[in-house]
Copies of this chain bind each other. A is one copy, B any other.
Amino acid sequence: MDNPALVDVTRGNVIESLHRGRVAIVDTDGKLVCAIGDVDARVFPRSAIKALQALPLVESGAADALDLSDAELSLACASHNGEDVHANSARVMLMKAGLGEDALECGPQWPQRMEDAARLIMADETPCGLHNNCSGKHAGFLGLAKVMGVKTKGYVEASHPVQQEVRLVMEQMTGDKLSEDVCGTDGCSIPTYASPLKSFARAFAAFGTGAGLEPLRADAAERLFNACINEPYMVAGADRFCTRVMEGFRGRVFLKTGAEGVFCASVPELGFGIALKCDDGATRASEVMMATVLEAMLELNDDETVLLDRLVNPPILTRRGAQAGQIRPTGDFLAALKTALS
């Protein structure tokens, strides 16, 4: 893995740190429009593919049977902050399936933001599975298990019918064979399968456009895409990159972050799917990489320009709030994108 430096971090006039990475952009024909770094090596997609993992929930009819709202489908695709609105919605999703929070097998997690953690503490509570950033995805898995009529216990195991369904859909969407030896356990205890970045980009080109998908799957993808676009706060929450971009781009872009520096997106107007990873796993870099790709790719209005400019060049601040440096795309990264997209 000898991928180029795509993002650096300055302090004063000095480059303090840098992040290497790789980017794959694929069109609806499956053509690799842009490949920066090694896009053939397998990477774990982690949470960046939650929207694909939610496809069985919708195309099985379970989402309808459970009467899930757009907000709840968005939560099924989310890595949320564990704010009250997220935890409560996950609880309602479970109730709709006739289950309680004790059915969750994702493990507990403190809410992302101090103020939400503080509310729990003030109420003398500790976090539970509902606050886990993956609780909506897990509530979706449990709802699917109920509608499928299979046992819910052990729904996180690779051998469980729900995970077998998810794996099959991932194989179809990526065009990749997912075997045991590329399977790892995600932080929320479900299996995660490593595939090439270009395969994930291909999947998200189809997800955002329906191109090449069976009608039932195309409908399911469209419904999940629209749910996330309509309810972007449920996908992440306050002060979060995914929420800000999906709010600001009003349907032009679907995108989803994942742990260890992964980011995926669909840009329907161009027919592009995007998948990228920062080699060292840093979210600060994967966010700048995604913002830079979108800025290079899209014609922007004034509001969109202002939004992306901030995300392409986030400031490094002191604890008094003064700017000490900047995170920014490297010249090589900008040049490579320009060449690929021109």
- Which residues of A does B touch, CB under 8 Å? 1, 5, 9, 11-20, 42-44, 105-110, 114, 117-118, 121-122, 132, 181-189, 192, 194, 260-261, 279-282, 285, 318-322, 324-325
Contacts and interface: CB of A to CB of B under 8 A. Distances in A.
B319 A184 contact: no
B11 A44 contact: yes
18 contacts: A1-B18, A11-B44, A12-B181, A12-B182, A13-B184, A14-B42, A14-B194, A16-B260, A17-B279, A18-B279, A19-B280, A107-B318, A118-B121, A184-B324, A184-B325, A187-B324, A189-B318, A279-B280
B132 A187 contact: no
Across the A-B interface, the 3 shortest Cβ-Cβ residue pairs: A107-B319, A12-B184, A11-B184
Which of A43, A106, A107, A318 lies at the interface centre, i.e. has the most chain B CB atoms within 10 A of its CB? A318
A12 to B, nearest CB: 3
Given A107-B321, A189-B319, 5 more contacts: A11-B185, A14-B194, A107-B320, A187-B319, A280-B285
Contact of A322 (B44, B185, B281, B318): B185
A1 B8 CA distance: 11
A108 B319 contact: yes
Contact of A282 (B20, B110, B181, B280): B280
Nearest to A134: B319
Contacts of A185: 11-12, 318, 322, 324
A23 to B, nearest CB: 16
Nearest to A14: B194
B1 A16 contact: no
Contacts of A110: 114
B280 A189 contact: no
Contacts of A42: 14
Contacts of A279: 17-18, 280
A109 B192 CA distance: 36
A330 to B, nearest CB: 11
Contact of A43 (B16, B184, B261): B16
B282 A14 contact: no
Nearest to A124: B122
A1 B109 CA distance: 37
Contacts of A192: 11
Contacts of A132: 319
A239 B43 CA distance: 31
A311 B260 CA distance: 20
Given A107-B319, A282-B282, A320-B107, A17 B261 contact: yes
A329 to B, nearest CB: 15
